[in-house]
Amino acid sequence: MRKSERPEDYPAVDSWNYITIEGYCMLNMEYRGCNDRYNYRLNPDRTFTRVKNNRYDPTLKPDPYPTDCKRSVRSSCIGSIHFAWCDPDDESPGETGD
């Protein structure tokens, strides 16, 4: 059926709209902050200083990955309870508006 022959109430998509989001996996975020004995602070001279991690907990164990997890963020993660998202920054790197 050509577009001109399509009935008015026939559902159709004449143009596609896309939204862009930045997505993150939040699974084991608590574990990632507590599993290392030390953190490392970046100094102005681009060296690192080892700092004791006050949140270190050697008894904390990571949560298991869901059975269908591909271990990378992808569009199938959008329905997951571990998926977090935000609007991407509108400014591209190097564009300061000066």
Question: Is 77 among the domain residues?
Answer: yes
Residue 11 in any domain: the answer is: no
| H or E stretch at 32 | helix 29-34
- Flag whether 93 is in a domain: no
Boundaries of domain holding 58: 19-86
Q: How far is Cα 37 from Cα 8, in angstroms, rounded to an integer?
A: 65
Place of tokens 């271990």: 71
Q: What is the pLDDT of residue 84?
A: 92
Contact 34, 55 (CB under 8 A): yes
* Residue 51: inside a domain: yes
Tokens standing for residue 26: 């939040």
Number of domains forming the structure of the chain: 1
On whether residue 76 sits in a domain, the answer given is yes
* pTM of the predicted protein model: 0.55
| 96 φ/ψ angles, rounded to the nearest 5 degrees | -105, -10
Considering the domain boundaries, does residue 9 fall inside one? no
pLDDT tens readout for residues 3-21: 565 556 655 666 666 777 8
Q: What is the mean pLDDT of the chain?
A: 82
pLDDT, average across residues 36-63? 96
Q: Which tens digit of pLDDT belongs to each residue from 60-76?
A: 999 999 998 999 998 88
More confident residue, 40 or 1: 40
Q: Do residues 84 and 24 make contact, with C-beta atoms less than 8 angstroms apart?
A: yes
